[in-house]
Amino acid sequence: MNTPIISDDLLVVRTVNGVKLVKPLHSEVTENSYTIGQIKNLPISFYFLNLEGATVFINQEGARICGFTDADQSIGKTLQANRKVLKNSFIIAVS
């Protein structure tokens, strides 16, 4: 599977079934849209998983909560492979 490109300028936009990522110039942008760059710096666990459940992106807080010493350490691994319990996380599956 190809690794999706996740850019800091992409917007997280609310949809009926959850959220989706759109380019900033997309017509569906609303005032309640936040960029990946804005969200990843919040003190919350924030990560993207592929359809197999492997980590594509995780912010530093997410890595810390999941028991990784560094965010890059978790890339390609499932979060369930780590024994830490995941709570209050914002999960987005990307294909």
For residues 49 and 82, membership in a common domain is answered with yes
Note the pLDDT tens digit of each residue in 5-54. 788 888 888 888 888 888 887 666 667 778 888 888 888 888 888 888 88
- Per the listing, tokens 């594509």 go with 56
Task: Check residue 85 and give its pLDDT.
Answer: 43
Count of structural domains within the chain = 2
Are 31 and 16 within one domain? yes
Does one domain contain both 61 and 88? yes
pLDDT, average across residues 63-80: 83
91 with 65, same domain? Answer: yes
State whether 50 and 64 are in the same domain.
Answer: yes
Q: Is residue 3 scored above 60 in pLDDT? A: no
Does residue 1 fall inside a structural domain?
A: no
What is the extent of the structural domain holding 24?
A: 6-41
pTM of the model: 0.67
**84 and 47 co-located in one domain:** yes
62 sits in which H/E element: helix 60-65
2 or 29: which leads in pLDDT? 29
